């Protein structure tokens, strides 16, 4: 399903075409080589002091912990279980060199995640990030250390084109077929003036 960004700007294709579907094809698995490729894109993202605070815990359908990770998703995000992979995205909260707080860790992890998403999009993969999960349960399950923070869970795989057959709720199906919407540019960026939003 094509849902290009409705904008006159000359955006590069991976940005123009990127959107976050909920309907994933359970029969299509992401090949290990392609998975490594999108993770490599994240590896080369910029970060404060080149700290690279991001950590990706990757779970395919055959991984023993996958059902437990799925159980940590909120009920409204159970559609993500159809995706080939679930990625638990974490950030190290302290600098490795001096153990001081890294207040840029989440920002930098977001940059790495976007690099991953755009690489995935350019290779025909779909992704959808979720904030709706049981954070404490997931961190306990995966033995996330106190120096790290679990920020998001991402569904990664191939989009299911037959939306009605994807097992989505009526509400999610409506969102799946609806247009992409964003705030106007003036609502997010200003030039040469103090805060005016």
Strands 148-157 and 85-92: antiparallel
CATH number where 150 lies = 3.40.109.10
Phi, psi of 56 (to 5 degrees): -120, 115
- In this model, does residue 113 exceed pLDDT 90? yes
User: What global pTM score does this model have?
Assistant: 0.94
Give the chain's largest Cα–Cα span.
54
Q: Encoding tokens for residue 14? A: 């991976």
* Beta partners for residue 107, in sequence order: none
Higher per-residue confidence, 174 vs 51: 51
CB neighbours of residue 117 within 10 Å: 24
- Count the domains in the chain: 1
The tens digit of pLDDT for each residue in 98-108 reads 999 999 999 99
Q: Encoding tokens for residue 42? A: 């994240």
Q: Is residue 66 part of a domain?
A: yes
Report the distance separating Cα 105 and Cα 162, nearest Å: 38
Question: pLDDT band at residue 18, thresholds of 50, 70 and 90?
Answer: very high
* pLDDT, mean of residues 55-77: 98
CA 10, 11, 16 angle in degrees (round to 5)? Answer: 130
If 0-12 CB within 10 Å is exposed, 13-18 middle and 19+ buried, where does residue 100 land?
Answer: exposed
Q: Is residue 163 part of a domain?
A: yes
Q: Is residue 86 part of a domain?
A: yes
Report the distance separating Cα 105 and Cα 40, nearest Å: 19
Which positions ≥6 away from 158 have C-beta within 8 Å? 24, 25, 28, 30, 84, 124, 125, 126
Q: Is residue 194 part of a domain?
A: no
30 closest CA partner among 131, 149, 159? 159
Phi, psi of 30 (to 5 degrees): -75, 125
Q: Is residue 64 part of a domain?
A: yes
- Check residue 53 and give its pLDDT: 98
Q: Is residue 157 part of a domain?
A: yes
* Beta partners for residue 90, in sequence order: 55, 150
Which domain does 68 fall in, by range? 23-173
Question: pLDDT band at residue 167, thresholds of 50, 70 and 90?
Answer: confident
Q: Is residue 80 part of a domain?
A: yes
Report the distance separating Cα 54 and Cα 190, nearest Å: 30
């Amino acid at each position: 399903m094509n849902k290009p960004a409705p904008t006159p700007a000359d955006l590069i294709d991976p940005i123009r075409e990127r959107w976050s579907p909920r309907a994933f094809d359970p029969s299509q698995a992401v090949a290990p080589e392609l998975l490594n490729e999108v993770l490599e894109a994240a590896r080369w993202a910029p970060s404060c002091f080149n700290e690279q605070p991001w950590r990706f815990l990757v779970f395919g359908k055959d991984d023993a912990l996958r059902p437990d990770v799925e159980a940590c998703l909120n009920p409204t995000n159970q559609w993500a279980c159809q995706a080939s992979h679930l990625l638990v995205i974490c950030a190290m909260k302290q600098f490795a060199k001096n153990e001081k707080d890294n207040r840029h860790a989440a920002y930098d992890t977001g940059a790495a995640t976007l690099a991953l998403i755009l690489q995935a999009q350019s290779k025909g993969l779909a992704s959808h990030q979720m904030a709706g999960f049981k954070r404490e349960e997931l961190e306990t399950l995966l033995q996330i250390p106190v120096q790290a923070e679990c920020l998001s869970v991402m569904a990664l795989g191939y989009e299911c084109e037959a939306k009605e057959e994807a097992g989505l709720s009526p509400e999610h199906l409506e969102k799946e077929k609806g247009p992409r919407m964003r705030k106007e540019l003036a609502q997010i960026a200003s030039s040469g003036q103090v805060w005016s939003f």
